[in-house]
Amino acid sequence: MRLTDAAAIAGIGSTAFGKHLDGAEKDLACQAIVAALDDAGLDPGEVDGMCSYTMEETDEVEIAKNIGAGEIAFFSRIGYGGGGGCATIAQLAMAVATGRCTVGVAWRSRKRGSGLRPWAAAEGQPSTGAQWTRPFGLLRPADEIAMLARRYLHTYGATRDHLANVALACRRHANANPGAMMFERTLTREQYHAARWVSEPLGLYDCCLETDGALACVVVSGERAADLPQRPVYVHSASQGLPRQHHGMTNYWGPDPLRGPGYACARPLWRAAEFTPADVSVAQIYDAFTPLVPFSLEAYGFCGPGEGASFTEDGGIELGGRLPVNTSGGGLSEAYVHGFNLIVEGVRQLRGTATTQVADARTCLVTSGECVPTSALLLRN
């Protein structure tokens, strides 16, 4: 049995994004899920499948009760935070395609804009991976990615101006998106370079936002989606990736630390697809930090190793460029909800309803977090 186009995203929903939003994470999750079901024209009582993240603070029992779901026949959770988003859709697509459920909901809810930092609260013995990094000063995700970014700049002759291209592209797209936290809040190259360091070579605008908010998607069979109100967005291919001997959040010990989980994820993704990177209309690439975009452009085959930085030049990842990326603003300028907003924006692009719309968009790549065990989707309309 092939997954190809057997399931489709039929509904999307989200709350507002911001800091210090009212309500608990459970409240936000329920709001987003009910909005997605309403978008799909489905009753909550039809929901019989659920998938979210292991790091999600809301559990299936509470969500099912509070939205009024029916009997749940399938539920699962995906690990590794930012690496898990696309896999939630993939799991539901497989469950629908194999008859395990008929109406699945995937979601992510966070109140990080209210001050919650999961690494800041950690006490006691570090995890297996972190015990080799935290004692030496790599305390935050920004510190770990900064090490890889420095290696990338040194190895390939890239500069912080290339990272600025990513930040500026995301900000320009967010400036046109009324739902983005950075709507109408412009950013100049001069402001980018003048900003304070977070973890050198990463400055303030190389790092994602801190956001409260929630998003959700509804997954049904491709056949059923064709009869629902919204234009179906088919799950064409999906994969996860965990390289051999991967270590912790990032792997500094492999033969090439810059060949991260995206490479392991890309191979099965394209192997199961009926089109190639050259056929992708638009991409939503996980951008908790600016270097992750060139890393992923290379991993998923849009350019060769070390060429991701130059790919961003001359508006290459902006509307009208070689490959428009993160057209809602992404984690850098729309909202940071562990990448789930990238999936929702991919759906909007293929429906033709995005605020920065790619003309005649037919296919979309969505990626989850590079450097951690990850996942990806190829969507088509």
Count of residues making up the chain: 381
Residue 17 to residue 354: CA distance in whole angstroms: 17
Is 286 an active-site residue? yes
Q: Are 323 and 199 in contact (CB under 8 A)?
A: no
Residue 259 to residue 239: CA distance in whole angstroms: 17
Closest CA to 333 of 283, 282, 371, 288: 288
**What are the residues facing 53 on neighbouring strands?**
78
Is 80 an active-site residue? no
Burial class of residue 268 (count of CB atoms within 10 Å of its CB; 0-12, 13-18, 19+): middle
Three-state SS at 333: helix
Residue 50 tokens read as 């659920």
Residue 375 tokens read as 């996942």
296 φ/ψ sector (left φ>0, alpha ψ -120 to 50, else beta): alpha
Residue 168 to residue 187: CA distance in whole angstroms: 7
Contacts of 169 (CB under 8 A, 6+ apart): 312, 315, 317, 318, 325, 326
67 φ/ψ sector (left φ>0, alpha ψ -120 to 50, else beta): alpha
Three-state SS at 104: strand
Catalytic residue among 53, 263, 286, 300: 286
Contacts of 122 (CB under 8 A, 6+ apart): none
Unique residue bearing structure tokens 């109408």: 184
Residues annotated as catalytic (active site), given as ranges: 286, 336
